[in-house]
Amino acid sequence: MRPGLLRVIFMALLWFGGVVHAQAIEPMPFANHAQELRFQHLTQQLRCPMCQNETLADSNAPIARDLRNQIFQMMQQGRSDDEIKQYLVARYSNFVLYDPPLTSGTWLLWFGPLLILLGGAGAVLVVIRKRNRGAAVAPEASTDHAPTDHGDDW
Amino acid sequence: MNRLLPFFGFMLLVVLFGFGIWWNTQHDQNAIPSPLLNKPAPAFNLPKLYEPAQTVSKADLLGQPYLLNVFASWCIECGAEHPVLEAEGPGLGVQLVGYNYKDAPADAKRWLAEHGNPYNLLIADEPGNTAIDFGVYGAPESFLIDAKGVIRYKHIGPLTPDVVAKELKPAIAAMQKEVP
Amino acid sequence: MTPELGQLALILALLLALAQSILPLLGAWRGNRALMAVARPAAAGQAVFVAFAFGILVWAFVRFDFSVQYVADNSNLALPWYYRIAAVWGAHEGSLLLWILILNVWTVALAAFSQKLPEVFASRVIAVMGLIAVGFLAFIIFTSDPFGRLLPMPGDGADLNPVLQDPGMTFHPPMLYMGYVGFSVAFAFSIAALLGGELEQAWVRWARPWTNIAWGFLTCGIVAGSWWAYAELGWGGWWFWDPVENASFMPWLVGLALIHAQAVTEKRGSLRAWTILLSIFAFSLSLLGTFLVRSGVLTSVHAFASDPRRGIFILAFLTIVVGGSLLLYALRAPKVVGGKSFKVVSRETVLLIGNLMFAVAAAMVLLGTLFPLIGDALNLGRVSVGPPYFGFLFPLLMLPVVLLLPFGPFLRWGKGDWPALKQVLLRAGIAAAACAIAAAFFVNGQLKAIAGVASLVWLGIGVLLYVIKRWREMPRGRRYPAEMAGMLLAHLGVGVFVAGVLLSESLSVTSDVRMAPGQTQHIGGYDFRFDGAHRATGPNWRADQGVVTVTRDSKAVAVMHPQKRTYLRGQVQTESAVNAGIFRDLYVALGEPMDANDIEGAWSLRLYYKPFIRWIWGGGLLMMLGGFVCAGDKRFRIKRGAKIEEATASLQVQETHA
């Protein structure tokens, strides 16, 4: 694999980031279609450590190619997706996972939206109950001249 | 009080952004802290660059601390780093091991002939498989490995005189203090 | 024209912006009509100078004036004229100038169309727009001068990032900025209302068309960006939940909530404080987007080159504008619960739930986007939050919205009736279930695809039922007022969008293949035959160009020419070939030759069959159209006369209260 001049320039550019937007297109000898789908799915969930805003599936960085190859080999050896992820995390840290695992540190990330939702839902319930009661007691408070009712309830 | 909540929430964001700006002046955004830090370096067995028939393994290097410097002839930043290695390398007090990464041996040798060879030992990883075990994802990267084979320090990107003085040398000093 | 004139124009614009913001505010406070009258002429003057500066930068690009650093960095002699003009907003400085220009377009429009508004209110609104302009003009003058000189002048420039050399990218930023900046109008209205202590909801009606139009533009900008990413990046995806994409999506979500909240406030008087808060949030998130893209605090595909100085400047500006307005909100927001009351089963309730879900979704996106930063702060190491996170939570949050959407129009304000709802539930539900069962046979039982068909039918029938109801019940001419027609269009767009997303995601076929000339691959019912590759050249690139002939059942479908381009400065860029269709896209990207020295031999190629992907953008465009149509409603046209007196009267009442 003697790199030609083009490849040298190509890689040099790559190292300086952002200049190359070529897709990683590498046909691999998958055992079957299911494995190909599994490979596509898995590599799309992993972040390339070099070109940091691309998935391993899309990145053309040399390290992404090597890692894709490694993942492919591990799949042929019958390793599970979790084992492959563990392998990568042990070397490149959780950074490579686009799907951050639930730990004490990422608790806020995964359950924060639920907390916000519950808080918001509580506020909405209070408003609805208050306004509902208002409907029973006080008929039409402040805005009598609301100019929008033109016989067409829309 | 309720009506001040959005304001306080926003102020929290401002603090976070202020922190973000400060943090990014202190850290390289492209550097991913290695999970291998303070753990035993991975086992390897790689051919020497100049004598491909002989291989060097991790065991061969135990007993003496060394700086493993990942470089390649295609890597432009390595060219910027090279003079620093030449100037500072001998004064570091550790062996300098060159790790030629994903490079054709001929290209690497030509490059070394042109730029000079500061390394005590040169090993070659042309396919780049062992580098994955080290968590290498580009070049240059440098690992400080102690006499017991534990990774004590890692720097991603070119070593500059500043990095050598402020990070690498203190790391070496700390390591040497432990081992009498 | 010397570029220095551009800089001078910007400085004069800044002075006028200061006049436009400070004097009318003083005037409105003091009741001094002369000071208030400064607002419009100052705004017009500012716009003239900004347009002049923008014109000078365009001219510098057209004339290849490489003595201007920005021009030299982003264009060269071989760059075609249309991309030289697009290059004006191809990097940080110029795009900031575009932002300011668009801000002025909105301000001038506002000045022109607000003549019938109460004077005090209108001058406050224009003054707030002026304040925003002050911040951005100071930003560009002090940190990001687009007219800086490069001496000695180089013979040729560098290049516009090839990724940006695409029609989609030419339109994406202006549309997006029209949306971002457009939210400043709703923002200015609500700040003016807060300043005036305006408890009346009249201002909401004046603000509504502006919000709808801004939201429509933002939708258009996001659709253009998504289409560009799909066609240009060669990855076959259309959304990546990247920080910068999220930065445009958050204001969109909040804007969506705002549009619906404004409807409630305008028509029923309730949710006033919430509407004001959303107006502030929508624009704040637009500013936040600018901060995220330009400060470099987050890594992103599309981010501009970062500079901590700029980050600090925008952060300070953000703190003053957003912090100030939130404080103002805390002090002056209406405290009395106003408006008409409503029952549990009512349109208000449904809109409230919708608002809740949009707001929570926006908060979720914000949390996910900023979490890597929080991870740094909490010393968690570097955390990545990507498509698996957002792609899991977002649909969950939107599920209630999709389920409730058909009922919205059928519910009455204040008090809805059950029988009508049951009828909708029954009809749309049965139709959706029947179509889902039928679809199950065509898609091999893929749940996602079935859900896509079901939601399309559910939402589509929901809209259709309401169209029929109006047709039957209302006299001609009053059946579909623009506001309602816009709503129906946008809601139909949601159905089309959801169907597009679910169907394309579940039924797409991707294959990386090695093909020698003459070889054929069978994908998604189509035969792709590779007819070899050859060299091709363009104005500023050369390329290896593949020829792929697609047939179906031996009938010719298309001849596609995917390219791998190398631009002047050595940048490599894949240029995918897309054969578009209503029901499917065929998509071919060229990889690399198997033997680097023989481009006429075998190549690696990526072939996609993407059914219904166009529905994603189609749905988005329907939503955009909905926003625009809505804004055209006659009701929103301000008439001089009774209403204004009414509004001023209430204004005076407020002043005495305050």
C596 and chain A in contact, CB less than 8 A: yes
Q: What pLDDT does residue C313 have?
A: 92
Q: What pLDDT does residue C406 have?
A: 94
DSSP readout, C254-287?
Answer: HHHHHHHHHHHHHHH---HHHHHHHHHHHHHHHH
- CB-based contact B118:B86 (threshold 8 Å): yes
> Rounded mean pLDDT of chain B?
92
Q: Which residue has the tokens 């977002």?
A: C394
A122 and chain B in contact, CB less than 8 A: no
**Mean pLDDT of the region C237-248:** 91
The interface predicted TM-score (ipTM) is: 0.91
- What are C65-79's pLDDT values in tens digits? 999 999 999 999 999
> Rounded mean pLDDT of chain C?
91
Task: Give the integer Cα–Cα distance in Å for C193 and C333.
Answer: 9
- What's the pLDDT band for A2 if we cut at 50, 70, 90? very low
**Mean pLDDT of the region C136-162:** 92
Disruptive mutation site among B37, B74, B100 for chain A (greatest number of A CBs within 10 Å) = B74
**Mean pLDDT of the region B30-45:** 93
C601 and chain B in contact, CB less than 8 A: no
Q: What pLDDT does residue A147 have?
A: 43
Torsion sign (Cα): C337, C339, C343, C347: negative
Domain residue spans of chain A:
26-96, 102-139
C363 and chain B in contact, CB less than 8 A: no
DSSP B4: G
- What are C602-619's pLDDT values in tens digits? 999 999 999 999 999 999
Sheet containing C584-593: give its strands across. Answer: C509-515, C603-611, C584-593, C577-579
User: Strand, helix or coil at C537?
Assistant: strand
Q: What pLDDT does residue A153 have?
A: 59
Residue C299: which of A22, A53, A97 has the nearest Cβ? A53
Task: Give the integer Cα–Cα distance in Å for C558 and C389.
Answer: 38
- What are C283-306's pLDDT values in tens digits? 999 999 888 888 777 776 555 656
C337 and chain B in contact, CB less than 8 A: no
Cβ–Cβ of A90/B35 closer than 8 Å? Answer: yes
pLDDT at A150 over 60: no
Which residues of chain A lie closer than 8 angstroms to C592, CB-CB? 25
Which residues of chain A lie closer than 8 angstroms to B108, CB-CB? none
- What's the pLDDT band for B150 if we cut at 50, 70, 90? very high
DSSP readout, C549-592?
Answer: EEEETTEEEEEE--EEEEETTS-EEEE-EEE--SSEEEEEEEEE
Beta bridge partners of C567: C541
> Rounded mean pLDDT of chain A?
78
Which residues, including other chains, have CB under 8 Å from residue C78's CB and lie 6 or more apart? C539, C540, C568
Locate the chain A residue with the closest alpha carbon to B41. Answer: A91
Cβ–Cβ of C344/A132 closer than 8 Å? Answer: yes
C474 and chain A in contact, CB less than 8 A: yes
**Mean pLDDT of the region B66-94:** 93
CA distance A76 to chain C (A): 18
DSSP readout, B102-147?
Answer: S--HHHHHHHHHHH----SEEEEESS-HHHHHTT--SSSEEEEE-T
Torsion sign (Cα): C611, C613, C614, C620: positive
**Mean pLDDT of the region B66-93:** 92
pLDDT at A71 over 60: yes
Cα atoms in the 13 Å half-sphere on the side-chain side of C540: 23
CA distance C590 to chain A (A): 8
Percent of chain B with pLDDT over 70: 98
C412 and chain A in contact, CB less than 8 A: yes
Q: What pLDDT does residue C199 have?
A: 56
Q: What pLDDT does residue C341 have?
A: 87
Disruptive mutation site among C73, C235, C364, C544 for chain A (greatest number of A CBs within 10 Å) = C235
Task: Give the integer Cα–Cα distance in Å for C261 and A33.
Answer: 49
Residue A79, token pair as written in the block: 């390793």
Q: What pLDDT does residue A21 have?
A: 56
pLDDT at A18 over 70: no
Which residues of chain C lie closer than 8 angstroms to B17, CB-CB? 291, 295, 297, 311, 315, 318, 373
**CA-to-CA dists, residue C531 to A26, C552, C556, angstroms:** 19, 16, 14
**Domains in chain C: ranges and CATH:** 1-160 (1.20.120), 197-410 (no CATH), 411-507+620-625 (no CATH), 509-614 (no CATH)
**Mean pLDDT of the region B166-178:** 91
- What are C408-419's pLDDT values in tens digits? 999 999 888 888
Which of A44-48, C332-336, C380-384 is most confident? Answer: A44-48
pLDDT at A9 over 50: no
Give the residue ranges of DSSP H helices in C296-417: 308-318, 324-332, 347-377, 387-404, 407-410
Task: For domain A26-96, say whether CATH 3.30.930.10 is its number.
Answer: no
Residue A93: left (phi > 0), alpha (psi -120 to 50), or beta?
left
* Interface contacts (A, C; CB < 8 Å): 195
DSSP readout, C27-94?
Answer: HHHHT-HHHHTTHHHHHHHHHHHHHHHHHHHHHHHHTT-TTBHHHHHH--TTS-HHHHHHGGGSSHHH
DSSP C149: B
Q: What are the backbone angles phi and psi of residue B179, rounded to the nearest 5°?
A: -95, 105
Task: Give the integer Cα–Cα distance in Å for C5 and C21.
Answer: 24
Locate the chain A residue with the closest alpha carbon to B105. Answer: A2
**Mean pLDDT of the region C416-442:** 93
Which residues of chain A lie closer than 8 angstroms to B128, CB-CB? 62-63, 66
Which residues of chain C lie closer than 8 angstroms to B4, CB-CB? 330
C19 versus C419: the higher-pLDDT residue is: C19
pLDDT at C189 over 50: yes
- What are A21-46's pLDDT values in tens digits? 566 788 889 999 999 999 999 999 99
CA distance A70 to chain C (A): 17
B6 and chain C in contact, CB less than 8 A: yes
Beta bridge partners of C563: C545, C575
Q: Sort strands B95-101 and B151-156 into parallel, antiparallel or unpaired.
A: unpaired
Cα atoms in the 13 Å half-sphere on the side-chain side of C133: 40
pLDDT at C385 over 80: yes
DSSP readout, A33-102?
Answer: HHHHHHHHHHHHTBB-SSSTTSBTTT--SHHHHHHHHHHHHHHHTT--HHHHHHHHHHHH-GGGBSS---
pLDDT at B109 over 70: yes
CA distance B180 to chain A (A): 31
Q: What pLDDT does residue C201 have?
A: 65
**Mean pLDDT of the region C27-44:** 94
Residues in chain C: 658
Residue B89's nearest CA partner among B14, B161, B18, B10 is: B161
- What's the pLDDT band for A5 if we cut at 50, 70, 90? very low
- What are C483-538's pLDDT values in tens digits? 999 999 999 999 999 999 999 999 999 999 999 999 999 998 999 999 999 999 99
Residue B24: which of C291, C296, C323 has the nearest Cβ? C296
Locate the chain A residue with the closest alpha carbon to B2. Answer: A123
**Mean pLDDT of the region B14-19:** 94
Which residues of chain A lie closer than 8 angstroms to B100, CB-CB? none
Cβ–Cβ of C385/A100 closer than 8 Å? Answer: yes
Q: Which amino acid is it at C363?
A: A
Q: What pLDDT does residue B180 have?
A: 56
Q: Sort strands C584-593 and C577-579 into parallel, antiparallel or unpaired.
A: antiparallel
Beta bridge partners of C528: C521, C550
pTM: 0.92
Q: Which chains border B (3 or more CB–CB pairs < 8 Å)?
A: A, C
pLDDT at C652 over 80: no
Cβ–Cβ of B74/A49 closer than 8 Å? Answer: no
